[in-house]
Structure formats: structure tokens, C-alpha cells
């Protein structure tokens, strides 16, 4: 029988291995095993082992250049994340969204460019990072992009004669 943090996670079984598929942060904890002999009432326990789970990469964050953006500027969004030093060979793919809709599908580039930004480019932008096998995926928080336009103010001046 296997326990995690003193709770049974797998009842009595003949198999002596515990396999945890798709390990994530929730898998972290103290594990131990209880063995009961079929021929006697003997029960033995293994020592507790702590399983520590490290992020493969940090939660992504969208950053913009320039800030603020003026109408006509080239806007560059960067999806920033930090890969675990233990897994530097891991290939990551990046996608960008505006108001929840794809603006750039997954590619190896962590940048998305809006050339000559216009007022219709205003919106909430986010990015998603995944491994090439799609086993780990993380979404950034959205940032609201404002585009400063050319504001022309017409002032009418009327002269009344009496």
C-alpha cells in the first residue's frame, strides 16, 4: 500500500512499484510504502521519502517594446520564461493571443511583432509556452496594450455681431 502525506494513494496490490504519470507540482510530498505479508500478520514500512518537483520552466510573462506605443510604431511582444538549468536542452514553442484568439500559432520564436501599430491593435495580449511534445504547457497573464493615436482637436470659434 502506498501513502502520500499520510493518505493512502494506492490500496494493497502485489505490484511493488508506484508510477506517477505526468508529474506536476501536486506530486510533491512525503511518500512511504506499507508491506503486509500474506503468510503472517507482519507489517513493515519503508522510510518516508520526500519527492520534490521542480518547474521545467517558469510561468511565462508578456513584455512589450516600446512602452508606451504610439500609432505607427512597430510593437514587439516578447514571451519571457526561464528554463530549468537541469533541462537546458528542452525545446520550447511559443504562441501569442489577442483577446483570447491566436495572432501567432506555436513556433520557436518567443517574439510577436505588430508592424505599424494602429488603434485596432488595442487589446489584451497573452502568450503560451509548451514543450515540443506538449506535455507541459503554461499560459501567461494578459497585458492590456494601449495605442496612443494622433489626437486632433478642432476648436470652432464663432464671432457673433449684434
Closest CA to 110 of 95, 124, 125, 122: 95
Q: What's the grid cell of residue 158? A: 464663432
pLDDT of residue 40: 65
Structure confidence at residue 159 (pLDDT) = 54
Question: pLDDT tens digit string along 132-153?
Answer: 999 899 999 999 999 997 654 4
pLDDT score for 36: 77
Per-residue pLDDT of the chain (162 residues; tens, 9 = 90+): 888 998 888 877 767 788 888 788 889 999 988 887 777 677 777 888 898 888 999 999 999 999 999 999 999 999 999 999 989 999 999 999 999 999 999 999 999 999 999 999 999 999 999 999 998 999 999 999 999 976 544 444 445 554
pLDDT digits (tens, 9 = 90+) for 106-126: 999 999 999 999 999 999 999
CA distances in angstroms from 90 to 3, 62, 100, 118, listed in the order given:
32, 20, 27, 36
Report the length, in residues, of the chain. Answer: 162
What pLDDT does residue 157 have? 47
Determine the pLDDT at residue 67.
Answer: 92
Assigned architecture for domain 61-148? Sandwich (2.60)
Q: Where are the domains of the chain?
A: 2-51, 61-148
Per-residue burial over 91-115, b = 16 or more CB atoms within 10 Å of its CB, e = otherwise: ebbbbbbbeeeebbebeeebebebe
Cell 530549468, residue? Answer: 84
Amino acid at each position: 500500500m502506498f501513502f502520500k502525506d499520510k493518505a493512502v494513494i494506492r490500496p494493497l496490490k502485489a505490484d511493488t512499484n508506484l508510477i506517477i504519470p505526468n508529474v506536476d507540482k501536486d506530486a510533491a510530498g512525503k511518500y512511504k510504502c506499507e508491506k503486509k505479508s500474506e503468510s503472517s500478520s507482519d507489517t513493515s514500512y519503508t522510510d518516508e521519502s520526500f519527492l520534490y518537483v521542480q518547474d521545467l520552466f517558469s510561468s511565462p510573462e508578456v513584455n512589450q517594446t516600446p512602452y508606451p506605443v504610439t500609432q505607427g510604431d512597430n510593437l514587439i511582444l516578447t514571451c519571457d520564461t526561464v528554463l530549468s538549468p537541469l533541462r537546458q536542452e528542452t525545446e520550447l514553442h511559443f504562441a501569442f493571443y489577442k483577446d483570447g484568439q491566436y495572432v501567432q500559432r506555436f513556433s520557436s520564436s518567443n517574439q510577436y511583432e505588430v508592424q505599424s501599430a494602429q488603434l485596432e491593435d488595442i487589446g489584451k495580449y497573452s502568450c503560451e509556452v509548451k514543450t515540443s511534445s506538449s506535455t507541459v504547457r503554461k499560459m501567461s497573464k494578459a497585458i492590456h496594450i494601449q495605442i496612443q493615436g494622433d489626437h486632433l482637436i478642432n476648436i470652432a470659434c464663432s464671432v457673433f455681431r449684434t
